Copies of this chain bind each other. A is one copy, B any other.
């Protein structure tokens, strides 16, 4: 399962460009990291919410994929993100977990933390879709 996730992750140009890494992956739970980078800031110099959302989305997608059967590919149906504070810091930890999985839809939650702060600065509630037997779609 971990190999399947990593293979899919390695095909994501976006994750490589952002410099994001998978630091842990268990059944239904994924942990990733992201670093501050001036290429991905918003107008006040903090990391752009879109960079954080991209990694939260990916982490939720892989948490969902980790509980799907091996013939499934995962697509994001949608998500809600709340930004509780600016993404101020050097190193961001993103944690996602499956709330409940059906055959087609899997709902996940994600949280983003800055440096050592134990309070999340962003939270996500995401709905992932399992796609079966779609030529060209895997992982």
Count residues of chain A with CB under 8 A from any CB of chain B: 56
Give how many copies assemble into the complex: 4
By the criterion CB–CB under 8 Å, are B105 and A77 in contact?
yes
Shortest Cβ gap from A75 to chain B (Å): 7
Interchain CB contact (< 8 A) of A9 among B43, B80, B102: B43
Chain B hits for A23, CB < 8 A: none
**Chain B residues, Cβ within 8 Å of A79:** 80-81
Binary flags per residue of A17-46, CB closer than 8 Å to B gives 1, else 0? 100000000000000000001111111110
Q: Do residues B125 and A100 form an inter-chain contact, with CB atoms below 8 A?
A: no
Other-chain residue from B43, B50, B81, B125 in contact with A11 (beta carbon distance below 8 A): B43
Q: Do A14 and B51 contact each other (CB < 8 Å), given the known contacts A78-B80, A78-B83?
A: yes
Q: Does A1 contact B (CB under 8 A)?
A: no
